Amino acid sequence: MPKTTYDWRVRGQRLTQIGVRKPQPKDDVILLPSYKERVLMEMLKLGLLAGEAMADAQTIKERTVATTITLSAAVLARAQELVACGKVVIPFPTQALVPPVIEGWRRFVDEPEKYKIGWTARLKGEIRRRPSSGWTRRDGTQRDDGVYDDKKQIFHFHPLLIPWLAKHAVEYTKYTHWLHLHVPRLYDACRATARTYAAALDAVLPGYSFYDRLCEEDSECLHRLRLLAYDEETAAGKGHFDISFLTIHIAESHPGLRMGDERTLFVARPGEALLFFGEKAERLTSGKVKASWHEVTDERPAGDTSSRCSAIYFGHIVL
Ligand SMILES: [Fe+2]
């Protein structure tokens, strides 16, 4: 079968993935303005620019406004399935984006505890009592109040983590590429995917402003890319609903995610991710859509004691 290319556009960059072409509509594509472009547009709004800089910012603004979201019939059909079932499998460029992220995460997990603690951050908008940015460890005994907790290491990425690390003089030379390139690229792809499906949800279930809520500044502070490394002894997680609006289960080193009452095992395939609703979606719609219950079971073959790693994205809204 002839090899051909198809494109994934992430934040204006063109990532080309080599693969066997399938007859798929051109969809799932949003061009998002970069951080620099957003800053320029904000400066334009505040009247802080003049002359050539103002003209450039105006051009950027027009281009951004013209970049409307294209929703194909395939995306709309998946959004309908999401509403009906609470979850749906979506195309996602895992092969291009995930391996360098997981490779760096595995290296990080093996760092001494003392080094990793330096990456435990608290960013703007975080209201939970425990820090939820950068690195944290849950030891399985921290919370006896019935709240979800398992033995695992967690890394939460938000772009503001980078200036936080710089401000706190955290030395991360050997993770520069990982932190500045690979992880943000995956974060941006997830953010764009969540936006696409929020817009599609507005089309199939109007009246809730999913897209606008997801894109609000207060919501932007809360989106997280989560990297997990489960405890080597258990590699499992208790059943729960996510507190997010939308969750994207991106990739995993071992199967183990079980969904719904039937506890159906979801096996992540290359080029695909699982999108499902969290509690915020159910609350916003007064139960019209349902959050998806899930758990993680240890499915490692006998004798395999390697740590189960996974990558997940949480898209939030403020209620
Ligand atoms: Fe979860």
Taking all residues of the chain, what is their mean pLDDT, rounded to a whole number?
A: 83
Domains and CATH numbers, the chain: 72-315 (2.60.120.330)
**What average pLDDT does the segment 284-294 reach?**
96
Q: Give the E-state strand segments of 84-234 in sequence order.
A: 87-91, 120-121, 133-139, 151-157, 224-230
What is the signed CA dihedral for 215, 128, 184, 188, rounded to 10 degrees?
-20
- Per-residue pLDDT, averaged over 44-67, amounts to 77
Q: How confident is the model at residue 55 (pLDDT cuts 50, 70, 90)?
A: confident
144-171 pLDDT, tens digit per residue, is: 555 556 788 999 999 999 999 999 999 9
Q: What is the pTM of this model?
A: 0.78
For the segment 285-298, the average pLDDT, to the nearest whole number, is 93
How many Å lie between the centroid of ligand 1 and the Cα of residue 196? 21
**Cα–ligand 1 centroid distance for 19 (angstroms):** 31
pLDDT at 208 over 90: yes
Model confidence at 303, pLDDT cuts 50, 70, 90, reads confident
- For ion ligand 1, residues whose CB falls within 5 Å: 242
Q: Rounded to the nearest whole angstrom, what is the distance from the C-alpha of residue 241 to the centroid of ligand 1?
A: 6
- At residue 22, does pLDDT exceed 60? no
pLDDT band at 274 (very low <50, low <70, confident <90, very high): very high
Whole-number Å distance, alpha carbon 25 to ligand 1 midpoint, is 31
44 C-alpha to ligand 1 centroid (Å)? 40
Q: Give the mean pLDDT of 38-45.
A: 80
Q: Which stretch of 86-95, 226-235, 260-269 has the lowest confidence by average pLDDT? A: 226-235
Buried/exposed code over 59-80 (b: 16+ C-beta within 10 A; e: otherwise): ebbeeeeeeebebbebbbebbb
CA of 181 to the centre of ligand 1 (A): 26
Q: Who's near 71: CB < 8 A, 6+ residues apart? A: 27, 196, 199, 200, 203
93 CA from centroid of ligand 1 (Å): 21
Over its C-alpha atoms, the chain yields an Rg (Å, rounded) of 20
Residues 6+ away with beta carbon under 8 Å from 169? none
Instruction: Please report which confidence band the pLDDT of residue 9 belongs to, taking 50, 70 and 90 as the band edges.
Output: very low
pLDDT at res. 25: 44
**For 43-66, what is the mean pLDDT?**
78
pLDDT computed for residue 200 by the predictor: 93
Question: For 122-132, what is the mean pLDDT?
Answer: 66
pLDDT, average across residues 63-69? 61
Residue 117 has pLDDT above 80, yes or no: yes
For residue 276, report the distance from its CA to the centre of ligand 1, in Å.
10
Distance (Å) from CA 203 to ligand 1 centroid: 26
Residue 255 C-alpha to ligand 1 middle, in angstroms?
14
Query: pLDDT tens-digit profile of 228-252?
Result: 998 777 766 788 899 999 999 999 9
Nearest Cα residue to 313 out of 190, 158, 180, 200: 190
**How far away, in angstroms, is 228 Cα from ligand 1 center?**
11
